[in-house]
């Protein structure tokens, strides 16, 4: 496994891989790796000749007052883990490699970027879309792997990939959870023991919505209320939003029909903001 810091080197390597007709799988991350990230890496390893994982804590997707400075970073531990999982290249650029002085070009996926997480975190998806565009341009992967955990991100990236004409297939893999149901996240390290236990209520709430849906509930307001009540029963949790939306357009839905929908939740436990979601459709 080779660790690459320079964008030029990454780009020329990717060009060489394309000339050799190798299929390239790409897993973008911000490091501080856990089983959620590793599930993406494992699938990439199975599907592709060459696996590239990027580790870059992207300043452009953090708002003022967010946790950019204190976001957990441990490149040595991450690299050791990725070597174990037979990753070929780790792309770990410094900030100026991605955003050289005078950088002024941003990618905005209009409409989708301003909803839900985008409303709560203005500029977040502009930062995500911009860095993913730069990484896709550098690596030109055949497949790129993302987690369902960040549901809106997957919708934004799929739209970006289509609109900008990338020859990259976006693969979305299920959310990996702790036994308690809490979705794995690099930010879980901020939670105290009590907050962590309380935060598992998010999954319980999403499960309750799924059960109600399976039993025939099609009123979105009622499903959202079920989610709210389960989380609000937990004094350490503060809901930011519960939304029931069309999984492709992220538009709110009131009366559910046969379309696939997403139940999306953002909630705070202490100072830590967590997001999670559940996909509901008739096939389940
Ligand atoms: P991050 O390092 O938080 O930017 O995440 C990198 C990738 O890992 C994104 O595609 C995330 O959606 C994905 N990811 C993060 N947590 C999980 C999880 N618990 N299960 C599955 N994928 C995840």
Concatenating the DSSP letter of every residue in 184-242 gives P-GGGGGS-HHHHHHHTHHHHHHHHHHHHHHTT--BHHHHHHHHHHHHHTSTTEEEEEE
Which of 28, 33, 36, when mutated, tests ligand 1's pocket best, judged by the most ligand atoms within 8 Å of its CB? 36
Asked whether residue 254 carries a pLDDT value surpassing 90, the answer given is no
Give, using CA atoms, the residue closest to atom 22 of ligand 1. 147
CA distances from 167 to 23, 48, 94, 144, 227 (A): 12, 15, 26, 10, 38
Which of 144, 149, 158, 172, when mutated, tests ligand 1's pocket best, judged by the most ligand atoms within 8 Å of its CB? 149
Give, using CA atoms, the residue closest to atom 6 of ligand 1. 29
**Residue-wise pLDDT tens digits, 208-227:** 999 999 999 999 999 999 99
C-alpha 147 to ligand 1 mean position (Å): 5
Concerning whether 34 is annotated as a catalytic residue, the answer is no
283 — pLDDT class (breaks 50, 70, 90) = confident
C-alpha 183 to ligand 1 mean position (Å): 10
pTM: predicted TM-score of the whole model, two decimal places: 0.98
Which of 28, 33, 35, 37, when mutated, tests ligand 1's pocket best, judged by the most ligand atoms within 8 Å of its CB? 37
**Residue-wise pLDDT tens digits, 108-134:** 999 999 999 999 999 999 999 999 999
Query: Which SS3 state, helix, strand or coil, does residue 8 take?
Result: helix
**Residue-wise pLDDT tens digits, 142-200:** 999 999 999 999 999 999 999 999 999 999 999 999 999 999 999 999 999 999 999 99
Q: Is the CB of 188 under 6 A from ligand 1?
A: no
Catalytic choice (34, 37, 124, 271): 37
CB atoms within 10 A of CB 132: 27
Q: Is the CB of 146 under 6 A from ligand 1?
A: yes
Q: Where are the beta strands (DSSP E) in the chain?
A: 2-4, 24-29, 50-55, 89-91, 143-147, 169-173, 237-246, 261-269, 272-280
Provide the β-strand partners of residue 255: 219
Q: Give me the mean pLDDT over the 237-258 stretch.
A: 94
Nearest ligand 1 atom to alpha carbon 153: 12
C-alpha 23: how far from its chain's center? 23
């Amino acid at each position: 496994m080779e660790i690459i810091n320079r964008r030029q080197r990454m780009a020329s390597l990717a060009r060489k891989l394309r000339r050799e007709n190798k299929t390239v799988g790409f897993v973008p991350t911000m490091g501080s790796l856990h089983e959620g990230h590793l599930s993406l890496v494992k699938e990439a390893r199975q599907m592709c000749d060459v696996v590239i994982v990027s580790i870059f804590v992207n300043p452009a997707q953090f708002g003022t007052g967010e946790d950019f400075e204190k976001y957990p970073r441990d490149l040595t531990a991450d690299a050791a883990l990725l070597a174990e999982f037979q990753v070929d290249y780790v792309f770990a650029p410094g900030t100026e490699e991605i955003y050289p002085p005078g950088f002024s070009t941003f990618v905005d996926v209009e409409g989708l970027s301003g909803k839900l997480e985008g409303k709560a975190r203005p500029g977040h998806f502009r930062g995500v879309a911009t860095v993913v565009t730069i990484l896709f341009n550098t690596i030109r992967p055949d497949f790129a792997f993302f987690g369902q955990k960040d549901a809106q991100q997957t919708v934004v990236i799929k739209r970006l990939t289509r609109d900008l004409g990338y020859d990259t297939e976006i693969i979305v893999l299920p959310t990996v959870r702790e036994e308690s149901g809490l979705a794995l996240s690099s930010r879980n390290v901020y939670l105290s023991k009590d907050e962590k236990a309380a935060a598992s209520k998010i999954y319980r709430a999403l499960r309750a919505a799924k059960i109600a849906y399976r039993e025939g509930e099609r009123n979105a307001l009622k499903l959202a209320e079920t989610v709210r009540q389960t989380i609000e029963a937990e004094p350490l949790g503060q809901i930011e939003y519960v939304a029931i939306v069309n999984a492709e357009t992220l538009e709110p839905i009131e009366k559910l029909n046969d379309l696939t929908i997403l139940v999306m939740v953002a909630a705070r436990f202490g100072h830590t903001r967590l997001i999670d979601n559940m996909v509901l459709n008739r096939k389940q």
